[in-house]
Chains A and B, each alone.
Chain A
Amino acid sequence: MSISVNGQATRPAARPGDERISLGQGIRDSLVVTRRNLLRMLRIPEVVVFGLIQPIMFVVLFSYVFGGSITLPGAGNDPDAYRAFLMGGIFAQTVTFATAGSSAGIAEDMQKGIIDRFRSLPMARGAVLTGRTFADLVQTAAILLVLALVALAVGWRIHDGLPKALAAFGILLLFGYAFTWIGALIGLSVRSPEAATSGGLVWLFPLTFVSNAFVPSENMPGWLQPVAEWNPFSATVLAVRDLFGNLPPNSPTPDAWPMQHPVLASLIWSAVIIAVFRTLAVRKYKRATA
């Protein structure tokens, strides 16, 4: 006990009247929180492992159970064609499931004393949320990598070259990142991490199933087709399929605008989701902490 508590003042100089926090500090604070969340994820690897098991299970179940019975326009009942078709859907569904992780993580933080620590520190207000979404993005990227390897093992292939494939992964990560902001808002709105986990997931099932992810929208009842085609999820799935070259050669493209311009539509959807949900989440965080 030789070093004085007050020794070696490391106190940063207070700048009078300086209330605004610079963008640089905001990014730095966010990265500090990102590191914290990544360390947490490493300490409970089960979460990441379960995050992997589900999409792998979906790959196996859908390709072997449904594979022969789902008719693809332009390719008939060919199970190999369906497997290639399916992967875009699984990839997109997997990145959106990061929502549950971010909502549970943020709900847990809000419930614990650590949030008071953060709130009493001179840090950027949005950094707690941004740091969490960054960490989720890293986790999603890791899961996506493993999933791609599994997909390659069951026969999925990239047909249009690496640059387009990388663009597809970029679109997937951006879309997944956008969804973690929906998760952040859910995490701030519920009372417990348990509620956040289910609240982060239940709406994802209809969202991902009423889309072209597992079944071509052409196979759906007429009234449901426009819903599926305008579903933000469908644009991402189609964009990814297109960039991977996973569409059957003669498959028709629905007339809806997002289906005609899937890459652009996916980017717009992601940008809109981030803009809206980030604003709402940060505002809610500030209000909850005011």
Chain B
Amino acid sequence: MPGAIHAEGLVKTFGDVRALDGVDIDVPEGSVLGLLGPNGAGKTTAVRVLTTLLQPDSGHAEVAGVNVLTHPNEVRRLIGLSGQFAAVDDLLTGRENLQMVGQLYQLSSRDAKRRAKELLERFNLAEAADRTAKTYSGGMRRRLDLAAALVISPPVMFMDEPTTGLDPVNRLQLWDVIRELVAGGTTLLLTTQYLEEADHLADTIAVVDRGKVIARGTSDQLKTQTGGDVVEVVVHDRERIDEAEEVLRRLGDGDPTLVAHTRKLSVPAAGGAKLLAEVIRELDGRGIEIDDIGLRRPTLDDVFVSLTGHAVEEEAAGGAGTPADAVTEDAAAEDAAAEKESDQ
């Protein structure tokens, strides 16, 4: 049975750019899919197609069993969308924003009012409810945007980089809200360029690069696919690094690698914790002082690098790599495409 979000062979081009190059997505009801990839990978385009904002060139998409292309309006009654730019009206108060969204979701104005009040309390915005959104901090705006997406308690939610640009405290708060949401049975598709975020929130992860899904699975599966555990040692004395390296080569399950400036040695450790204990004993026996030692599971960073051959930030960057830069590029591509369309 197809999941609550189901897409096959989505293709979307903007001019020469293939933003989506045959994307398949399936999110079983009540689960969370993390769409992970750098800026410009096609994550936002995928979300825009699935939320009826963008018509794909080809492919098929269903949300809660409803065909997105033929029944967009019905889909809109079933989804909530929270984007990377808080889609709220700056000149309206938090309360007015939520009431308006409620009414446009076709709630009666009484229900819209009641629901707005509930959500403002739920998202710690009650005190700021009657101030214009212009006066809100970044975190507050993001919470208001998320609240707007939840006005009808939609069975299917889309969040496009919900925490991009948020400080750590606000990010953690938002994660809590998302977890609670999912615990209540909502199906969620979440895009992120933060590996940690996908790791924490998603049941399954689809790694997207250049318009294609290049890997999918649980976070553990992806990590295992990349390789097993690693023992990491930071040696105190620079002079004894060579000796420590010899020890690791002998005990470990592969060649150690050295990051010279941090004095950190790593070696693959199929034996896991057992190897860790051996290494500690041996180094201690030789009197090699260590600053730090640990067994590390590969991170999604490692996964991403091994899958794509480049780091997550690399493509986004071109230097500074601020989200805004890449977004401008995205928007420029869409603009160019829109222009082409209107020329015809």
Contact = CB atoms under 8 A, between A and B. Distances in A.
**Chain A complexes with chain B:** yes
Interface of A: 1, 3-12, 14-19, 21, 25, 28-29, 32-33, 35-36, 39-40, 43-44, 112-123, 127, 191, 287-290
B185 A113 contact: no
Contacts of B187: none
B148 A21 contact: no
Given A7-B118, A14-B66, 11 more contacts: A4-B184, A5-B177, A5-B184, A32-B100, A39-B96, A113-B85, A119-B53, A121-B76, A122-B73, A127-B104, A289-B53
A113 B87 contact: yes
A29 B100 CA distance: 9
B103 interface: yes
B107 interface: yes
A107 B55 CA distance: 22
18 contacts: A5-B181, A7-B153, A10-B152, A11-B154, A12-B152, A18-B74, A36-B92, A39-B92, A43-B132, A112-B87, A113-B88, A117-B101, A117-B148, A118-B104, A122-B74, A122-B105, A123-B104, A288-B338
A6 B181 contact: yes
Given A10-B152, A120-B79, A40 B184 contact: no
Nearest to B71: A19
A16 B76 CA distance: 12
Nearest to B146: A5
Nearest to B86: A113
Given A120-B76, A121-B104, A114 B52 contact: no
A39 B77 CA distance: 26
Contacts, number: 129
B341 interface: yes
Interface in B139-195: 148, 150-155, 177, 180-181, 184-186
Contact of A5 (B87, B96, B180, B341): B180
Nearest to B78: A14
A12 B184 contact: no
Contacts of A289: 53
Those 10 A-B pairs whose CB atoms lie nearest each other, nearest first: A6-B184, A117-B87, A113-B87, A113-B85, A122-B76, A120-B81, A123-B104, A122-B77, A43-B91, A40-B91
Nearest to A21: B73
Contacts of A113: 83, 85-88
B55 A290 contact: yes
B96 A10 contact: no
Contacts of B26: none
Interface of B: 51-55, 66, 70-74, 76-79, 81, 83, 85-89, 91-92, 96, 100-107, 111, 115, 118, 121-122, 124, 132, 148, 150-155, 177, 180-181, 184-186, 335, 338, 341-342
Nearest to B184: A6
> Is chain A's interface secondary structure helix, strand, loop, or mixed overall?
loop
A123 B66 CA distance: 17
B299 to A, nearest CB: 30
Contacts of A39: 91-92, 96
Contacts of B177: 5
B107 A40 contact: no
Contact of A116 (B87, B104, B341): B87
A46 B257 CA distance: 66
A121 B101 contact: yes
A123 B85 CA distance: 21
Contacts of A127: 104
Given A32-B104, A39-B91, A117-B148, A3 B83 contact: no
A238 B200 CA distance: 71
A66 to B, nearest CB: 39
Contacts of A16: 74
Contacts of B152: 10-12
Contacts of A32: 100, 103-104
Contact of A117 (B77, B88, B106): B88
A287 B342 contact: yes
Contacts of B338: 288
A71 B52 CA distance: 61
Contacts of A19: 70-74
A8 B118 contact: yes
Nearest to A36: B100
B88 A6 contact: no
A71 B70 CA distance: 64
A3 B184 CA distance: 12
Nearest to B176: A1
